[in-house]
Structure 1
Amino acid sequence: MKNVGFGAYLKAQREGKGIPQRKVAHAVDVDTSTLSKMELGERPIAISMIKPWANALGVDFKQLQIKYISEKILHDFRSQPYLFEAIEKTKKILDE
Structure 2
Amino acid sequence: MKLANRIKELRESQGLLQRQLSAQLEIDTPMFSKIERGERRAKREQVLKIAEILNENKDVLLSLWLTDQLLDVVNGEEQALQALKMAEKDIKANKK
Same fold (TM over 0.5): yes
Q: Which residue number corresponds to residue 86 of structure 1?
A: 87
CA distance in 2 between counterparts of 1:60 and 1:37 reads 22
CA distance in 2 between counterparts of 1:5 and 1:64 reads 9
- On the 8 A contact 2:22/2:32 being kept in 1, the answer is yes
5 Å-filtered alignment, 1:1-96, equals: 4-77=1-74, 79=77, 80=80, 81-93=82-94, 95-96=95-96
- On the 8 A contact 2:18/2:29 being kept in 1, the answer is yes
Q: TM-score, normalised by structure 1?
A: 0.80
Structure 2 stretches lacking a partner, 5+ long: none
Moved over 4 A (4+): none
- How many residue pairs match? The answer is 92
**Range with greater deviation from structure 2 (45-54 or 21-30):** 21-30
Structure 1 stretches lacking a partner, 5+ long: none
Give percent identity, aligned residues only: 23
How far off is 1:84 after superposition?
A: 0.8
- On the 8 A contact 2:25/2:50 being kept in 1, the answer is yes
What is the aligned-residue RMSD (CA, Å)? 1.8
